[in-house]
Amino acid sequence: MRPVPRPKNHLDSFRYAVEGIVHTFRTQKHMRFHFFTVVLVLLISALLRMNRVEMAILFLVVSSVLIAEMLNTAIESVVDMVTQAYHPLAKLAKDIAAGAVLIAAINAVVVGIILFLKDRRIARLSIQIDHDPQPMNVMVTVTLLILIIVMLSKVVGGKGSLLHGGIVSGHAALSFCLAATIMYRAADFLTTALAVGLALLVAQSRVEGKIHTLQEVIVGGLLGVFVTTLIYFVRVPL
Give CA–CA dist 130/138, Å, rounded: 12
Neighbours of 201 (CB within 10 A): 10
**DSSP 8-state class, residue 122:** G
* CA–CA separation, 88 and 40 (whole Å): 38
Q: Coil, strand or helix: which one is 235?
A: strand
* DSSP summary character for residue 237: -
Whole-angstrom CA distances from 185 to 51, 70, 109 are 19, 38, 34
CA distance 218 to 207: 10
**Residues facing 126 on adjacent strands:** 235
Whether 67 contacts 21, CB under 8 Å? no
Catalytic position from the list 69, 76, 208, 216: 69
Known catalytic membership, residue 69: yes
Tell me if 221 sits within 8 A of 199, measured CB to CB.
yes
Residue 103 CA, distance from chain mean position: 22
Q: Which residues contact 147 (CB under 8 A, 6 or more apart)?
A: 170, 174
- Active-site residues: which are they? 69
